[in-house]
Amino acid sequence: CLITLIPIIWRVAATLKTPDEMFAPEYPLFSPHPTAQNYVDLFAKVPFVRYFVNSVFITCSTVRVQLFF
């Protein structure tokens, strides 16, 4: 079951890399200098919270409709 976690670990590790490290010819799994700047940019430049709230609303609405109809 560890093999099912590899894509998740890979994506999380990729979010902690700089863009230069992401597109480098050699692609180590873990960055030697992890950074959270990608997350800072996500919340500063993109209305991520709004997108998340919209997704939760749509999901809850769909579940309600499926349960009652």
Q: What is the pLDDT of residue 34?
A: 92
Model confidence at 50, pLDDT cuts 50, 70, 90, reads very high
Model confidence at 37, pLDDT cuts 50, 70, 90, reads very high
Q: Which distant-in-sequence residues (6+ apart) come within 8 Å of 8 by Cβ?
A: none
Q: What is the pLDDT of residue 36?
A: 92
State mean pLDDT over 8-12.
92
State mean pLDDT over 11-17.
92
Judged against a pLDDT cut of 90, whether residue 54 lies above it is answered with yes
Residue 55's Cβ-side half-sphere holds a number of Cα atoms within 13 Å equal to 6
Phi-psi region of 17 (alpha: psi -120 to 50; beta: other; left: phi over 0): beta
| Rounded-to-integer distance, Cα 11 and Cα 30, Å | 10
State mean pLDDT over 43-64.
94
